[in-house]
Structure 1
């Protein structure tokens, strides 16, 4: 909204006529305080909105990090390797060298 110089002069003259030159400084002071309060209120609302919108995002980011860490810690080959090692640890008996082994029975 742009005001030309003529429009601003018309508003100034209307204010002086309506309120008088004695109250003009008080009106300007009150107007300035009102503008400051409005800016402060707008800043508070903006901060609150950013805080509320940032909260779910940060929770989602934390959950993503937790899943990434769990995925890095999970090693499917570890359980397979343990099973393979357990199978290797079973002692292999050489049946040809073992005299106690009777072997298959033949008829």
Structure 2
């Protein structure tokens, strides 16, 4: 299930967050959320690497199975990127 949120819903949530936590806490919350999403993406990549390495080492590298797993992981990453798209970190 994908997360579909329209602009008015995002604005409503932002107003509620500002009312509850205050304007000075919003950047801190956004940083924490961004960091959490980055860690989730990194963990997904690590899991993908471990599965691929284990399959190669044990000789059970089934191309179709690997392709299916890769496609599912890519779908999860795309879903995460959809959610984290507006929460990009400035360098």
TM-score by length of 1: 0.50
2:24 equivalent to 1:10: no
**What CA deviation, in whole Å up to 9, does each residue of 1:30-70 have, x standing for no partner?**
111111111111111110011111222279xxxxxxxxxxx
CA RMSD between the two structures:
1.8
Which residue pairs with 2:25 in the alignment? 23
Partner-residue secondary structure (3-state), 1:2: coil
Runs of 4+ in 1 over 2 A off after TM superposition: 56-59
Give the helix-richer structure, 1 or 2: 2
Distance 2:12 2:37 in 1: 22
Partner-residue secondary structure (3-state), 1:21: coil
Which residue pairs with 1:44 in the alignment? 46
Q: Which 5+ residue runs of structure 2 have no aligned equivalent?
A: 62-91
TM-score by length of 2: 0.59
Q: How many residues align?
A: 59
Distance 2:48 2:16 in 1: 36
Distance 2:27 2:11 in 1: 17
